[in-house]
Each structure stands twice: as C-alpha cells, then as structure tokens.
Amino acid sequence: MMMNKNINDDNLSVLTDFTSLDPFIFNVKGIVKTGKSESDLLKRLNLCVIWSELFTFFSVQTNTRIEIELSKNKNEQNWVMMLGQMVSYKDQDVVLAYLYDISNMKKKNFELERSTRLRALMLEVTQSIFIANSIEDIFDLSLVNSIKALEKSNYGSIMVREGNIFKPVSYIGFTNDIRDFRLPCDQSFLARNTENKMDRFVRINQEQLGAQTVLEKSNSDKSMIRSTLTGPINIDGNLYGIINIDSLENNAFDDSDVQTMEFIRNNVEIAITNHLLYQEKLVLSRYDSLTGLHNRHFFEEQFELNRKRADRYNESFAIVLFDIDNFKSINDRFGHFVGDQVLKHIAKQLLNNQRESDIMARFGGDEFIGVLYSSNIQELNKKYIEINNELNRLELSVENTLVPCTFSFGIAQYPKDGKSLDELVKVADFEMYKNKRSRKFD
C-alpha cells in the first residue's frame, strides 16, 4: 500500500504497472478513477456494493481489508478480497483499493468445512448402532443428519422396500398421513430417472416434480417442493430402501450434494447392516433356531431375574417342564426330520398360548420349560391338558404321514417347591413323569 496519503494519476499508473491487482479509487458516490479500463470483476463489484458504506468502513479502519461476496445467485461462490487505504486525490478524501479474486479459496474452505461437518454428522450415524434401541432410531438419526449436511434441504424421508412397494419409515416436514402412503417401486422418481436400475443418486427439479406439495409441520399451509435428491439404500447388494431429501428451492442440489449423499448413504448402509447383524446375533444368543423358543442359557438368566424379583416383592411363580411323548419312537420310526417337525409343532402351540409375561424355552432335546407369573396351579393344569387334547385331536401331517404329537408336563412352584432352578426342575420332572405314567407313556 502507498504510505503517502496523496495520490495523482501518475502514481496510479505506476501502481498499475507494478502489480497484477488493478488499483482504483473510490469515494462515497462510487468509482472515481481506475488504473486500467474497468475490469469485469470491478464491474460486478459496482453492482453489488454500497460505496458509501465501504468508504465509511475504510475511513474508520484504514489500511485494512474486507471480503465481499459477488455471487449473482445462491448457486454461485464468487468472492473478492478488497484492500483499502484512505488517501487524498485532487484534494478529495478517497480510498485507494485493490481487488483480488478469492472464490477458489473460499470454495475450498467451504468444502473443507462441509467435509468436517459431514464427518462429524456421520460419526453420529455410525455410533448410532451402539445407542439405538431400534432400527427406527437409525433411520431417524440418518435423516436428520442428511438434512443438516445439505444446506438447501428442508424436508426428507426414508422409505423401506417391502416386496414391490416402498413404505415410509422416517420423515421430516411431512404430516403423519405419510405413514399410510405406499409407493410402487417402479413409480418412484428414482426408478423413473435411472431406467428402473435405482443404482445411484439423482437430482429432480421442479419441471420433473410437477405439482408436488406437502404440509408444513407447524400449520396447514402448503409449501411446494421444487427439488428432490433421491437415491438407493442397498444392503448385501439388494435394494433395501430409498432416501429422499427435498428443498423448497428449484435446482437446489448440485454435484457436491450428490457426493455428500453418497458418503452419507455408505455410512447409513454400514449402520443398518451392523444393526441387522447385531439383531441377528442377539436372536441367536437368545433363541433356539429350530423351535423359536428361548434357549436354555437365556432362560437361566431370566430365571435368576425372576427369582430376585419374587424375593424382593414376596411373590411366587411357576416352573412348567414339558417332555414330548414317545419322541424317541417317533425319531426311530419316521426319522429325525419328522422329529424336528414335531418339536416345532408343539413349540408353536406353546408359544401361541403363552402370555406376554411368560418365558418359554427349549431346555434340551425334547424337553421344554417355562416360567409363568401370576398363575394358579390348577388353572395351569387345566390349560395344558386342553392344549394336549387339541394336539391329540389334530395329528401333525408330515409328507402325507400323520404323526401323533403330545406332551407330558409337570409343575413346580417358587419358593414353595424350591429356591434354585435345579430344585424346581427336580420337582417338576417328578410331577411330569407321574403325569406320563398315568397316561401310560414310557
């Protein structure tokens, strides 16, 4: 910058020759003199600023700089840096200024900030697997963060595929009516704009959307969606669902938004996949894969919880032990496949007749066991006799073969018949064999 506060045309010409930045002079009314012919950058500046405000700024903070946005619309990123110093020109107070284009630097900074923000948001998504109580929590968190990541987004939805339709599972900005909405897959914007491949994100603008409207969350005024960014969610190579991000602006989304959503989509797919694997492992850790009943390990854990609860509140509960009649003979006569069908059939009947508070498990081999709260022993006897009678009346048909399948059972009561699982099982087992002998089964 000139240290001499007086400047004339010759000084301005010298400055122009010695710098690639075109110097110019302005006052409260506008540009007074330029070093060269007025550049395109300076022409755009002239349309964007209020010269009196700039003059006041540099008169207070002389020999400083300021960033000025020259963007014509919201889709541009055009910025300049102006350096200014108060000087005297032809006995008038003016500002000697230089301009240089900082659009690329601003764009890089913007991308860096967006990338940093995006990674922080996606860290929330990937961590959601550890805090989510359900997959719906993952959907909601993914959608919220997607809308946060795209500057011009307003609304959004995630839809999961069920057969040949998409069903909403998470939404923002829509009324609750969307819960009942069902969209045929081949009629989705994603299918229409990818030749039904649904293999990438696509931008849909107002002319393609038509008169699509949604209701605001806070009132009944309709707001038109003018842009949509939609793309697939794939799990294990198969289309699992779609994510839609909507804007009230036309042409709201650009290539960088598509890249952002691709990044988000990858993290969402990882979170969903991990959650599904976690749920699968959780099921395997709790349930018997053949019968669908709980397994013995889980049952023993639940027994301890129920025992502590009963002791705390001075309550009682029943243990019921079941044994399939003639199971060895069934396996020997019909084979193990038929034996498995018998196990599954009886387990299904027990599950269909249990209450929400009951815990039914496969105890081992052809034995099942249950913990039942608030149950009268006489009523339990009656209940399982009726189930057995129904099983006896309707024999199981396997490969055109009728297979008899009934069970014997015994009941023990906590704490009357024992305070440990072994003690209760021993009593229930004794009662079960009394029942079996009375019905003449080996």
What dotted CATH number matches 9-101?
A: 3.30.450
Instruction: Please determine, for residue 257, whether its predicted confidence score (pLDDT) is greater than 60.
Output: yes
Distance CA 130, CA 94 (A): 63
| Rounded mean pLDDT, 29-44 | 86
Between 229-243, 407-421, 428-442, the lowest mean confidence (pLDDT) is in 428-442
pLDDT recorded at residue 83: 93
Instruction: Please determine, for residue 404, whether its predicted confidence score (pLDDT) is greater than 90.
Output: no
Measure the CA angle with vertex 334, ends 332 and 335; round to 5°: 70
Instruction: Please determine, for residue 126, whether its predicted confidence score (pLDDT) is greater than 70.
Output: no
Highest mean pLDDT among 72-81, 275-284, 375-384, 411-420: 411-420
Distance CA 282, CA 277 (A): 8
Distance CA 254, CA 203 (A): 8
pLDDT recorded at residue 214: 44
pLDDT recorded at residue 316: 93
pLDDT recorded at residue 213: 45
The residue that leads in pLDDT, 223 or 304, is: 304
pLDDT recorded at residue 215: 39
Q: Where in the chain is the domain with CATH 3.30.70.270?
A: 296-438
Instruction: Express as a percent the part of the chain with pLDDT over 90.
Output: 53
pLDDT recorded at residue 17: 78
How high is the mean pLDDT of the chain?
Answer: 87
Q: Where in the chain is the domain with CATH 3.30.450.40?
A: 107-284
pLDDT recorded at residue 440: 67
Distance CA 437, CA 261 (A): 68
pLDDT recorded at residue 218: 40
What dotted CATH number matches 296-438?
A: 3.30.70.270
248-255 long-range contacts, CB within 8 A, separation 24+? 248/154, 248/223, 248/224, 249/74, 249/152, 250/205, 250/206, 250/226, 251/75, 251/205, 251/206, 251/227, 252/152, 252/153, 252/226, 252/227, 253/150, 253/152, 253/203, 253/227, 253/229, 254/75, 254/203
The 10s digit of each residue's pLDDT in 45-92 is 998 899 999 999 999 988 899 999 887 765 667 899 999 999 999 989
pLDDT recorded at residue 264: 87
Q: Is residue 190 within 8 Å of residue 232, measured between CB atoms?
A: yes
The 10s digit of each residue's pLDDT in 354-394 is 888 899 999 999 999 999 987 789 999 999 999 999 998 88
Q: Is residue 114 within 8 Å of residue 260, measured between CB atoms?
A: yes
The fold of the 107-284 domain, in CATH, is Beta-Lactamase (3.30.450)
Residue 364 is encoded by which pair of tokens? 């081992």
Starting from the edge strand earliest in sequence, which strands make up the sheet with 24-27, in order? 30-34, 24-27, 92-101, 79-89, 64-69
Residue written as token pair 């860096």: 112
pLDDT recorded at residue 244: 96
Between 129-133, 231-235, 301-305, the lowest mean confidence (pLDDT) is in 129-133
Instruction: Express as a percent the part of the chain with pLDDT over 70.
Output: 93
pLDDT recorded at residue 128: 65
Instruction: Please determine, for residue 219, whether its predicted confidence score (pLDDT) is greater than 50.
Output: no
pLDDT recorded at residue 230: 96
Structure confidence at residue 129 as a pLDDT band (50, 70, 90): low
**3-state secondary structure string, the chain?**
CCCCCECCHHHHHHHHHHCCCCCEEEECCEEEEECCCCCHHHHHHHHHCCHHHHHHHHHHCCCEEEEEECCCCCCCCCEEEEEEEEEEECCEEEEEEEEEECHHHHHHHHHHHHHHHHHHHHHHHHHHHHHCCCHHHHHHHHHHHHHHHCCCCCEEEEEEEECCEEEEEEEECCCHHHHHCCEEHHHCHHHHCCCCCCCCCEEEEHHHHCCCEEECCCCCCEEECCEEEEEEEEECCEEEEEEEEEECCCCCCCHHHHHHHHHHHHHHHHHHHHHHHHHHHHHHHHECCCCCCECHHHHHHHHHHHHHHHHHHCCCEEEEEEEECCHHHHHHHHCHHHHHHHHHHHHHHHHHCCCCCCEEEEEECCEEEEEEECCCHHHHHHHHHHHHHHHHHCCEEECCEEECCCEEEEEEEECCCCCCHHHHHHHHHHHHHHHHHHCCCC
| Rounded mean pLDDT, 169-187 | 91
The 10s digit of each residue's pLDDT in 1-19 is 444 478 888 888 888 777 7
Quick check: pTM over 0.85? no
Instruction: Please determine, for residue 152, whether its predicted confidence score (pLDDT) is greater than 70.
Output: yes
203-210 long-range contacts, CB within 8 A, separation 24+? 203/227, 203/228, 203/229, 203/253, 203/254, 203/257, 203/258, 204/228, 204/229, 204/230, 205/250, 205/251, 206/250, 206/251
Residue 64 is encoded by which pair of tokens? 């400083």
The residue that leads in pLDDT, 122 or 146, is: 146
pLDDT recorded at residue 325: 93
Give the residue among 136, 266, 123, 116 at the shortest CA–CA distance from 200: 266
Structure confidence at residue 210 as a pLDDT band (50, 70, 90): low
Instruction: Please determine, for residue 245, whether its predicted confidence score (pLDDT) is greater than 90.
Output: yes
pLDDT recorded at residue 281: 85
Terminal CA-to-CA distance of the chain, rounded, Å? 108
